[in-house]
A and B are shown apart, each in its own frame.
Chain A
Amino acid sequence: MKLLTHNMLTSHVKGVTKGYPLLIKATEVKVSEVEFNPNFVSRMIPKLEWSALVQAADGLGHLQDLPAELVTDYEKNEEFLRKVHRVLLEVEVLEGCLQCPESGREFPISRGVPNMLLNEDEA
């Protein structure tokens, strides 16, 4: 699970109103080299919940120098885009779980794929 995906995920447990962002508890994290595509990154940025991204990266120990606030005029700022690229696409949680901030329910992540299936009573 890459952090771009994590940024979109929300807990759907019944009755939960604040299921976002999910807390990441990682047991295995992988960092790989992914080809940098500045267009892709700058187009994804408007869709991101920035503070959740920073929090997630920090939680994994991969915050490095990603700024706490979104930089204005980032489209031409290659250095900034590269930092975002690294955090969004190169850091991957392979094993661990995602925890609903309100109910505490844990969703396992295995082989990089989160399992968000709910039990019958939770749906």
Chain B
Amino acid sequence: MNDSNCQCAALQFYCTAGNGMEPFLIQEVKTKLAAKDVDHIPGKVFFTTSSEIKQVRELKSAERLFLLLKRHSPLLAHTPKTPSGIQSRLMGDGSDWTRAVLSWRSLQRDLMMRSDCTLSVALPGRKRKMEEEEEKDSGVEGSTFNGPYGTQKLGLEGKRREFGLSKDTSSTEDSGSVSCVSGDKVEEDSIEGSRDRKTSTVSFRVSCRCSGALSRRFSPQDLSRIIGTAVSRQLGWRVDLRKPDLEVNVYMSDDHCVLGIPLLRLPLANRSYMKTTGLRSTIAWAMASLSDIKPGSCVIDPMCGVGTILLEAAHEYQDVFFLGLDIDESQLVKASQNVEFAKFGDRVQLLQASSKEIPLPSCSVDVVVCDVPFGKKFGTKTDMAASLPVIVREMERVLRVGGTLVLLLSPQLSCLLKKSMTPRPVPSHTQGEGTGVGLGGDVDPSLTPSLFPSLQPLSYHRVSLGAIDALIHKYVKILTATTTLSGPDCIHTLNPCIVDPE
């Protein structure tokens, strides 16, 4: 790596996260970025890290990435509800702002040094110029490499692009205090030649989101104007609503006040390696992260669609074999294109098959991960509810003892599945369908055992998919009286089920 020796000063960031994704993001920043001071409010995770920005931008469970400018306790607690009150509170002595713009600038340089064709960096006015630069340097990009004898060198291509980007090696420093910038590593990109680097001529725009009492007093536009005026008056920055150098995002509610500068134009959730998306990539990644995937694992998705979950997992975990099954040929065509686009043909294979009859031996797979269709695909919700037990039974069968099952379910299917796993007394209430009405007519006074005795629930997670919520269920397959190594569950076993000692 060309600049992995850069020891960056610790910076404060925050990421937005979908509802329910905060715990995954918290875990991710701690694991991947050795983040400190990790904190969160609904929808946002704050953290401090000295990892390089190119690593920070690789976060998989986050929506957007921001540099933290400042964070307050709610404004109205201490401040009169006047524009000047708001201004003086948010501006302070201006040092937070000045410091932030210097960090931001240094991060922009670091981001520009890494050429990535589809994820452009933040500057709205500069996007076109930057894309031209990137295209010049990335003659080795993707699809031209897919001849029959084309080598698939995923990691190497990224490196090649980094070295290919032309760099002006004369190092320059910003004027003013450089406490957050590792000075001798700051390199000037050739496109920036004409830009004045003094902070006083930064152009900016404020975008506000507010809720609660403050929002009843001021509209978002009012607040943007109030803050913008204070910034240009106190710091001399220039307001530019059309093509600003940077944007200041302000979020104010009854409970929180957060100011930040977005670092990338596109959300992190937009993956450069996905051609056609199905499930939101952040959720797909979260499911993979729950699945206990290890080197040497065999992972299947019995209803893979366009392959989103498998591709997120393949990007994250090495030395793993992924098999995607789907009943629908048109989905498999797109999945195949996705696999080719991401260059994972050596690790991700596809199969046209039904999740109700998985053509694999019992106890042969380490992980089953699946976004279970919510009902539209199967005709009606009732159909899906009726098919679910058969589908889960197949998943249970192919899993080896100790293997992990992770499912994404609609709230109704989640409820249905939980009920079918809980031994319960059943006077008039067997497994319900979407409406909660009992299925069979039998009035059975005794306990109904779990339909899936060898699946032990481990955890549930509620996540938002935007308009609706969904539940992630995680199970482990355990050894039971009926799940012996050579019992009826394993009629097609070829190799003995290896109970993983780990």
- A residues sitting closer than 8 Å to B (CB atoms) are 1-2, 4-5, 8-12, 17, 19-20, 30, 32-35, 37, 39-40, 43-44, 46-47, 49, 89, 111-118, 123
Flag if A117 contacts B354 (CB, 8 Å): yes
A-contacting 9-mer, from B275-283, B342-350, B452-460: B342-350
Interface members, chain B 308-361 (any A CB < 8 Å) = 318-319, 321, 323, 327, 332, 336, 345-347, 349-354, 356-361
Secondary structure at the B interface, as helix, strand, loop or mixed, is loop
Interface members, chain B 138-185 (any A CB < 8 Å) = 148-153
Whole-angstrom distance from the CB of A73 to the nearest CB of chain B? 17
Once A49-B495, A114-B351 are accepted as A-B contacts, the answer to whether A44 and B151 lie under 8 Å apart by CB is no
Query: Cβ of B488 < 8 Å from any Cβ of A?
Result: no
B332, B347, B349, B494: the one contacting A40 at CB < 8 Å is B347
Once A2-B349, A20-B494, A40-B347 are accepted as A-B contacts, the answer to whether A111 and B336 lie under 8 Å apart by CB is yes
Once A9-B359, A19-B492 are accepted as A-B contacts, the answer to whether A39 and B354 lie under 8 Å apart by CB is no
Flag if A5 contacts B319 (CB, 8 Å): no
A43, A47, A117: the one contacting B495 at CB < 8 Å is A47
Residue of A nearest to B148 (CB): A32
Q: Cα distance A50–B72 when bound, in Å?
A: 64
Residue of A nearest to B347 (CB): A40
Q: Cα distance A93–B184 when bound, in Å?
A: 54
Flag if A9 contacts B360 (CB, 8 Å): yes
Flag if A5 contacts B351 (CB, 8 Å): yes
B323, B354, B359: the one contacting A10 at CB < 8 Å is B359
- Some 25 contacts from A to B, beta carbons below 8 A apart, are A4-B349, A5-B323, A8-B298, A8-B323, A9-B351, A9-B360, A10-B360, A10-B492, A12-B358, A19-B492, A33-B150, A34-B152, A35-B153, A35-B346, A40-B347, A43-B295, A44-B296, A46-B495, A49-B494, A113-B336, A115-B352, A116-B353, A123-B354, A123-B356, A123-B357
Q: Cα distance A20–B327 when bound, in Å?
A: 22
Most buried by B among A1, A4, A8, A9: A8
Interface footprint category on B:
35 or more
Residues of B within 8 A of A1 (CB): 349
Flag if B354 contacts A17 (CB, 8 Å): no
Q: Cα distance A113–B359 when bound, in Å?
A: 14
Whole-angstrom distance from the CB of A62 to the nearest CB of chain B? 16
Flag if A116 contacts B494 (CB, 8 Å): no
Once A9-B360, A30-B148 are accepted as A-B contacts, the answer to whether A117 and B492 lie under 8 Å apart by CB is no
Additional A-B contacts beyond A8-B361, A34-B346 (17; CB < 8 A): A4-B349, A5-B351, A8-B360, A8-B364, A9-B359, A9-B360, A17-B491, A33-B150, A34-B151, A34-B345, A40-B346, A40-B347, A113-B350, A114-B351, A115-B353, A116-B353, A116-B357
Whole-angstrom distance from the CB of B62 to the nearest CB of chain A? 29
Flag if B152 contacts A35 (CB, 8 Å): yes
Whole-angstrom distance from the CB of B106 to the nearest CB of chain A? 35
Residue of A nearest to B155 (CB): A35
Residues of B within 8 A of A8 (CB): 298, 323, 360-361, 364
Whole-angstrom distance from the CB of A41 to the nearest CB of chain B? 9
Flag if B151 contacts A4 (CB, 8 Å): no
Secondary structure at the A interface, as helix, strand, loop or mixed, is loop
The 3 closest A-B pairs by CB, nearest first: A43-B296, A116-B353, A115-B352
Flag if B318 contacts A117 (CB, 8 Å): no
Interface members, chain B 345-393 (any A CB < 8 Å) = 345-347, 349-354, 356-361, 364
Q: Cα distance A113–B328 when bound, in Å?
A: 12
Flag if A32 contacts B149 (CB, 8 Å): yes
Residues of A within 8 A of B298 (CB): 8, 47
Whole-angstrom distance from the CB of A115 to the nearest CB of chain B? 4
Flag if A33 contacts B149 (CB, 8 Å): yes
Residues of B within 8 A of A12 (CB): 357-359
Flag if B361 contacts A116 (CB, 8 Å): no
Flag if A35 contacts B351 (CB, 8 Å): no
Residues of A within 8 A of B319 (CB): 37, 39-40, 43
Whole-angstrom distance from the CB of B235 to the nearest CB of chain A? 51
Q: Cα distance A117–B358 when bound, in Å?
A: 9
Flag if B352 contacts A117 (CB, 8 Å): yes
Residues of A within 8 A of B149 (CB): 32-33
Flag if A20 contacts B354 (CB, 8 Å): no
Residues of A within 8 A of B495 (CB): 46-47, 49
Residues of A within 8 A of B356 (CB): 123
Once A1-B349, A34-B346 are accepted as A-B contacts, the answer to whether A117 and B360 lie under 8 Å apart by CB is no
Residues of A within 8 A of B347 (CB): 40
Flag if A116 contacts B351 (CB, 8 Å): yes
Whole-angstrom distance from the CB of A103 to the nearest CB of chain B? 13
Interface members, chain B 174-232 (any A CB < 8 Å) = none
Whole-angstrom distance from the CB of A106 to the nearest CB of chain B? 13
Residue of B nearest to A41 (CB): B319
Interface members, chain B 273-294 (any A CB < 8 Å) = none
B433-471 interface bits toward A, Cβ cutoff 8 Å, 1 = contact, 0 = none: 000000000000000000000000000000000000000
Flag if B152 contacts A4 (CB, 8 Å): no
A43, A89, A118: the one contacting B357 at CB < 8 Å is A118
Whole-angstrom distance from the CB of B365 to the nearest CB of chain A? 8
Residues of B within 8 A of A4 (CB): 321, 349
Q: Cα distance A30–B150 when bound, in Å?
A: 13
Q: Cα distance A30–B356 when bound, in Å?
A: 31
Flag if B346 contacts A116 (CB, 8 Å): no
Whole-angstrom distance from the CB of B373 to the nearest CB of chain A? 17
Residue of B nearest to A85 (CB): B346
Residue of B nearest to A1 (CB): B349
Q: Cα distance A123–B492 when bound, in Å?
A: 16
Flag if B492 contacts A113 (CB, 8 Å): no
